[in-house]
Structure 1
């Protein structure tokens, strides 16, 4: 089902009483809303409110309506019930009508993801596209999407992009993909790195290493974030390098593998953001060679704490991690390659020292205030 609406022409902005831009903020909120999209909309909206007249224009669903839409989209997938209700044609049609009605009085609208075509000038903030989903067959974020529905959603997304005043990409890599593969005009694609949530209160210092080496993994989706490979590499290190080395795993709701949690692994499950922030400075290396990252907020958080990172040489990770400078990148799924890289980084004190030295610059860039100002600069440009 395609959203119907007039092409969004650029109109003269109507400033509110404050003289600031009247910006509609459109997000398909979860319940509760704070964790939506890994907290990105929640903190971005707060930063925008300090700088513009921000008006919520969706999409909070009453629980009875949310339940009905979820039931409508429920199906069996790999022996379990799943619901892709936000991608269901009925949900998208209802959302489009609500957004067009509530956004009419705004100067412009910021959509978190591709939600609908609007008559009001709008920007779309993205960390993913359906062109990417078609390429990344290993992703399990959207098990409800078969090839036919994926193609339909791609066509719908292209229609929304075509009428958007601009598309905001979280990374240079995603921006390049949107231009090269999706075919968006380069002048309508803007890179806006997100802010981060689990940041230190001040710049870190180089700690004196005491006790066994400690590795940290943070990721809700254990498989797509390469958790099994991290665990296998840790086992190699324990067996062949240092039997004392420890691994902390954060993110999955329950232990994601058969059998008990191994000795030497601390599994914390899903924990609040402030507790995640406290973990960074307790570890020597952040290890998450994810199979896909539209940006990589967790890497930036670790670097802001002065912790070197291990990622993968693909997607946006090379934008953040510089091998030999603030961490390293693997190129395969081989746990032996990952274990060797971890051992090299743990043995190189200069990498940790450089990462700590660079942390203040990382911390300054990682704020939601900076992201909000960049978005408002793009908004002002399209409205001028």
Structure 2
């Protein structure tokens, strides 16, 4: 199989570990030939930014929306692909090029962004794409649609995206296949951390406000003041946060390694991440695999991970610190939810592993070949 991907400078951290994790899992199951788009090099980035300025009069640093880069990179990938065995199966991580009968693994479509820009402006505002014009989104959408049309399968990370592409975009249910996503943390149940006290909340998210970190802090402070004097909140992911989000019992951890993050998944009792926009939400499945009940928002993929009242709770209002505080309080004292989540840890680890994702991809391809 040919594996086409765009890598960051730190290869293992590309797409929060997704691109590397899936590659390693596939290598354990089949022969892989890699094609790298080279997008991570500074020279390539500068070249395409200048090219966009000259040809389109547009300064665009985001290469995913840089038309000059998209066209030139596609030609580069197609040329590299033509030198390989063209009958070889081809998996693209994202829609990188138009390659006939290839397979595209995707967590988010441009059509979904356009949909949220129209019907849910607040969520779109936190999407990370809010500064792009509708023209830019629609131009990139045209490119993506062409690549989808020439692909044999669209493998989606989320069930939510599969449903959207079928129900809103009219794509065939036989073409759009849900395969899931995998855990990027080491499987490490530290038995020495037998000190859980139902008073430790964990938040993980580099994009603090998009992930709802501000709401978590507000709810935490409300609970600590009125209900639980010894409540603790651990914040991992952001490199820095405003001082107003710090306080007594709040431990700001920063952008820590996966090994250190594993320690805090073992230490803490519940996971709370009420994201305002979420393409998938790997942190939820990581938390569940460590036996942590979760609190999210009743939208995107979160309802597929979190079963209300069984392994956590879902917010209806993603801006209500009172509702979140009530959910946290109820969760902390629910023996049943803790037991439900704990007893299914091994199932979560099995279902949400990169080996499982790779197996689903290969099984689907083999059934059709």
What TM-score comes out, normalization by structure 1 length?
Answer: 0.86
* Separation (CA, whole Å) in 2 of partners of 1:209 and 1:33: 35
Please, which of 253, 263, 282 is the counterpart of residue 278 of structure 1?
Answer: 263
Q: Superposition pairs for residues 160-175 of structure 1, below 5 Å?
A: 160-175=147-162
Please, which of 117, 127, 140 is the counterpart of residue 107 of structure 2?
Answer: 127
Q: Indicate the structure with greater helix content.
A: 2
Partner SS for 1:34: helix
1:226: how far off?
A: 0.9
Partner of 2:228: 242
CA deviation string 1:41-60 (max 9, x = no partner): 10100111111111111212
1:233: how far off?
A: 0.7
1:189: how far off?
A: 0.6
Please, which of 47, 63, 73 is the counterpart of residue 42 of structure 2?
Answer: 63
1:358: how far off?
A: 0.8
Confirm or deny that 1:138 pairs with 2:118: no
Change (3 A) 1:340 1:259: closer
What TM-score comes out, normalization by structure 2 length?
Answer: 0.89
CA deviation string 1:66-92 (max 9, x = no partner): 333356669xxxxxx982123211111
Confirm or deny that 1:365 pairs with 2:351: yes
* Separation (CA, whole Å) in 2 of partners of 1:338 and 1:186: 36
Partner of 2:119: none
* Separation (CA, whole Å) in 2 of partners of 1:204 and 1:190: 38
* Separation (CA, whole Å) in 1 of partners of 2:309 and 2:292: 13
Partner of 1:298: 283
List 4+ stretches of structure 1 deviating above 3 A.
70-74, 201-210
Aligned residues: 352
Change (3 A) 1:260 1:310: closer
Confirm or deny that 1:99 pairs with 2:99: no
Change (3 A) 1:24 1:261: same
Change (3 A) 1:70 1:275: farther
Structure 1 window deviating more from structure 2 (303-312 vs 52-61): it is 52-61
* Separation (CA, whole Å) in 2 of partners of 1:282 and 1:68: 47
Q: Which runs of 5+ in 1 are unaligned?
A: 1-22, 75-80
1:271: how far off?
A: 1.0
1:39: how far off?
A: 0.8
Confirm or deny that 1:37 pairs with 2:18: no
Please, which of 210, 214, 226 is the counterpart of residue 200 of structure 2?
Answer: 214
Q: Which runs of 5+ in 2 are unaligned?
A: 54-58, 117-123
Change (3 A) 1:209 1:38: closer
Larger RCO (CA within 8 A; separation ≥ 6): 1
Q: Superposition pairs for residues 1-384 of structure 1, below 5 Å?
A: 23-61=1-39, 62-70=41-49, 83-104=61-82, 105-106=85-86, 107-119=88-100, 121-136=101-116, 137-201=124-188, 207=194, 209-210=196-197, 213-255=199-241, 257=242, 259=244, 261-332=246-317, 333-382=319-368, 384=369
1:290: how far off?
A: 1.0
Change (3 A) 1:40 1:187: same
* Separation (CA, whole Å) in 2 of partners of 1:328 and 1:143: 28
Partner of 1:20: none
